[in-house]
Amino acid sequence: MYLEQYPNRPHILVTAEELPIQQAIMVNDPTSEEGKRLSFTGPADNVMQIVARYMNLTYTYRRPADNSWGTLLSDGSWTGMMGLIIQEEVEMTPGPVLMGHVRSKVTDYSSYVFTGGFGILAARGRPKVNPWGFLLPLSPLVWAGVFTALVPVITVMLVLPSLLPQHANQPPRQETNIFNCVRVLLQEDIRTTREWWWWERVALGVWMMMILVLTQSYVSNLMSLLAVRHIDNPYQSLRDVLDDDIKIVIVENTILHHYFRVSNGGHN
């Protein structure tokens, strides 16, 4: 915003509202009919004093009737300080006013004077022991993949003996091979006195390697879960807050109040 000095020292109306760092006070003013005038303490008024001194002007504060910052209503009108500015009842406000798309369409912002951030505070879940915690290290999709992979391994054990003619005179081993696959999955040993065919060794060897990798991943993740108890984090997006059955404490007629009122989606 370009600042220009006025030679005739004009008087303007300025609007402001209270914040924890900005309080409304009444100061003595002999030029006023009541002998006092409205003023504010805090960084916003300090900025306003600098602007007034540089531009050679004087100003008087005017608070909105509803003592709010202002929000857009369904009929297109504005309340609070925004309403005073849009209706040209005052010339400006030192803020601090949050920048927003809906406000930028009807007003002009200066360069940044204050910067800050906002967050949503919510109660965190308490540490708890989940009786089904032994299932947490692996997602349902992984568990489904394990049992799905068991099917082709068992199928190979059942089908190959009938496809190899050199084994036609051998006693059936399908039942034994099926139990061996299940025993590997359950981390049990395999004992047999018969001679192993080469394809049985390959199939069981591959299955053992898969189960070894899966088991080591499961054990390490399970130890982590047992060492650090699970704590729920209920809010991952604005949509989660809107959908939750809670009471939200927020200043009415502010840009944040507007966002919560009209939002139909959330962002991480």
Q: What are the pLDDT digits (tens) for 145-192? A: 878 877 887 777 777 666 665 554 455 555 566 777 777 777 777 766
Could you give the C-alpha distances from 205 to 122, 154, 173, 192, 200, in angstroms and in order? 51, 13, 17, 15, 8
Q: Which of 192, 209, 227 is the last residue of a domain?
A: 227
Residues 151 and 188 reside in one and the same domain: yes
Q: Which of 210, 227, 244 is the last residue of a domain?
A: 227
Residues 20 and 99 reside in one and the same domain: yes
Radius of gyration of the chain (CA): 36
Residues 88 and 31 reside in one and the same domain: yes
Q: For the domain that residue 32 is a member of, what is the CATH number? A: 3.40.190.10
Residue 152 within any structural domain of the chain: yes
Which residues of the chain register pLDDT less than 50? Answer: 1, 168-169, 266-268
Residues 149 and 187 reside in one and the same domain: yes
Residue 112 within any structural domain of the chain: no
Q: For 27-61, give one letter per residue: b (16+ CB within 10 A) or e.
A: eeeeeeeeeeebbbebbbbebbeebbeeeebebeb
- Give the N- to C-terminal CA distance of the chain in Å, as an integer: 33
Residue 62 within any structural domain of the chain: yes
Supply the range of the domain harboring residue 162.
133-227
CB 45 within 8 A of CB 19: no
Alpha carbon distance 99, 87 (integer Å): 19
Residue 245 within any structural domain of the chain: no
* SS3 (DSSP) at 40: strand
Residues 172 and 92 reside in one and the same domain: no
pLDDT of residue 182: 76
Residue 121 within any structural domain of the chain: no
One-letter identity of residue 7:
P
Domain total in the chain: 2
Residues 223 and 137 reside in one and the same domain: yes
The pTM (predicted TM-score) of the whole model is: 0.52
Residue 33: phi and psi, rounded to 5, are -65, -35
CA 81-76-68 angle, to 5 degrees, is 25
Residues 46 and 88 reside in one and the same domain: yes
Residue 68 within any structural domain of the chain: yes
Residue 156 within any structural domain of the chain: yes
Q: What are the pLDDT digits (tens) for 244-258? A: 777 777 777 777 777
pLDDT of residue 19: 84
